[in-house]
A and B are shown apart, each in its own frame.
Chain A
């Protein structure tokens, strides 16, 4: 369903993504992990066609990114890391617009909006403008927008940011069910606990390079570590945390 081959993205002198390759099958849910600035969001943006790769090939749902960008966008549901929404539209208007852009039928759009707002507990806010929404409500808007057109592939970049515990639990369950239905899901995060419970397979990226691609169990065996955060620290070569803490304390307590 998703095939990435020798993907590279260069910004000036800086290699944001360095020759990574992976393949994700239909119905698979993959956790895409890495430290801040490792290249997670850049990879997702290239997959959804927002950024052009410097080199390499991307194939999503049977379509090559170089030639069939619009076909890919039609089949992908994407949640960006930053909530980009039409501030002056109401929630209903925003979702209606997205539904229409994805060529959904009017009746279907209305039905879905009514159901979604009920499930995400946003019925009261449905006619309010997005500019008055809290961060959590905005995140819910993004999620509803990404799921509205029943996409085959879901690319989620930190989807649980600012959400309350109830919604997170609901979404975790929902993602599992969607994967069972054959949706391909890339779940991008740096919160390891969620990825560990949700994703059977983990990809770890560090400084633009793919350092791990295996099921969690296999990673445990490979690294002789039990917790995913310990595996992550080992694979991303994050050392000297204790020294760093000492230094931080010294700087904070410095007066002159």
Chain B
């Protein structure tokens, strides 16, 4: 099917098939070394989609009408396809293997169609998993306006949701094609990469944020507005086919069906054809970018370098900072942790399990379990997360440079990693927390940050540095990873204990609380200084 579609777009059938098969082999082989989730991502996405579809289909038993039922299916199809395919547009923006065959007589249309087919193929599997269950459940929709065609609901519903999925991909491809004319390739790649994280957060959150109560009250007007959107256009096709002709919404369905079909046709015929046509220009632009030369050499010397007496520590810190900014694995790790914290916090707040006001609640000066807990968790996640990556990850490219002894004293190098955490992770996080605390409690806010800060600093300075001096032969040791995880558990427990001790002290007497608070903070700072002076090697 895709082949015919591609040929209609002007692709060379011989080249199209060859490149498509080749890219499939390359993808399979590229995934050979990978384990687990990376390999099964489509399967996991399909399983996730199937599960969602089971829940969404159950609305059929609550007397929902066919138009709204189809709108739910179409919106989910469009949403999931958009989420899934977004990262794959990076293939269109930056086809990594293009340079290998750029000199062969392949038309840009053919290459474009290969890339588009790759996106479409996985989307078909995904759409099928997402819609097979709802299509069967659709048979049980009740309504006086429905005809006998409703018993063939899957035959009507499935082509429509497939069409809506393709429409979404078409719109996205056209948008990406248009944006390439306006913005640089790097900017667009950043957008697609960050959107991967933003959209998955927004999608589940939409279920919490959409006011369903309003929907029940203003059913008719909301249906009217939904009809103006593409989801309404495609839902109308289903409604038109399975419903009687002599009913109120018949005219609306006819018009919207026309809009859906014509818009898809226009999308396919005009923007997609035009992109396929101009894709060669874009690919040439990619090759040109390689050739652009730097105009003037500029080397910036950071202000921070003046504060470091030890050049090894500064070199290590600079390296860690660069990797902290650029390493994809670290970015993914921090993004995953950040997303989890944000989602958990939002769910707790929105659902009222942990009211937002509670974070402000304090039992004494410097004792707010909610605030100290939140600061501690974020502080530990950032600090220990980075140190663990430096300490244990075999895949972190800079690791061996930090370990290698001839280049410098190992403890100095490790100190550089610690400084990276302090300056680039903990300092912004603490400043933000102090501002937030001052906003809640005035200038006294600083006392609410101190206990957590001392504990996070202790966790950084007591983190065990690498013991081996032959980095390239160092193997990933499960026991070491276990001890890394243990550190996080120990300090999380310590945080809970800290809050518990402060609570107990406050419960006994306010003076006891002041004493315990002072001992914890001053004692913590004393221990920190002891650790800092103690040589590690």
Contact = CB atoms under 8 A, between A and B. Distances in A.
Interface of A: 11-14, 16, 37, 41-42, 45, 48-52, 69-71, 73-74, 76, 78, 80, 84-86, 88-89, 93, 97-98, 100-103, 129
23 contacts: A11-B291, A11-B292, A14-B295, A41-B291, A42-B291, A48-B103, A50-B284, A51-B288, A52-B281, A69-B280, A70-B107, A73-B105, A80-B99, A86-B22, A88-B25, A88-B29, A88-B30, A89-B29, A97-B18, A98-B101, A98-B104, A101-B19, A101-B106
B273 interface: no
A7 to B, nearest CB: 15
A97 to B, nearest CB: 6
Given A50-B284, A89-B25, A101 B293 contact: no
6 cross-chain pairs, A with B, having the tightest CB-CB distances, nearest first: A88-B29, A73-B105, A84-B99, A78-B103, A74-B105, A101-B104
Given A45-B291, A51-B291, A97-B22, 18 more contacts: A11-B288, A11-B291, A11-B293, A12-B292, A14-B293, A41-B291, A42-B291, A50-B103, A51-B287, A71-B105, A84-B99, A84-B100, A85-B100, A86-B100, A89-B22, A89-B26, A101-B101, A102-B104
B139 interface: no
A209 to B, nearest CB: 16
Contacts of B99: 80, 84
Contacts of B142: none
B14 interface: yes
Contacts of B212: none
B26 A88 contact: yes
Nearest to A82: B99
Q: Is the interface of A mostly helix, strand, loop or mixed?
A: mixed
B514 interface: no
A100 B20 CA distance: 13
Contact of A37 (B281, B284, B288, B293): B293
A42 B287 CA distance: 10
A50 B100 contact: no
B339 interface: no
B12 to A, nearest CB: 9
Contacts of A84: 99-100
B488 interface: no
Contact of A100 (B18, B30, B102, B281): B18
Contact of B14 (A14, A50, A70, A103): A103
Interface string B351-384: 0000000000000000000000000000000000
B103 A80 contact: yes
Nearest to B100: A84
Contact of B15 (A13, A49, A76, A101): A101
A172 B19 CA distance: 33
B183 interface: no
B143 to A, nearest CB: 54
B97 interface: yes
A76 B295 CA distance: 33
B310 to A, nearest CB: 18
Contacts of A52: 281, 284
Nearest to B17: A100
B524 to A, nearest CB: 42
Contacts of A71: 105
Contact of A73 (B22, B29, B100, B104): B104
Nearest to B30: A88
A45 to B, nearest CB: 7
Interface string B85-128: 00000000000010111111111000000000000000000000
A163 B292 CA distance: 28
Given A11-B293, A12-B292, A101-B106, A51 B284 contact: yes
Nearest to A39: B291
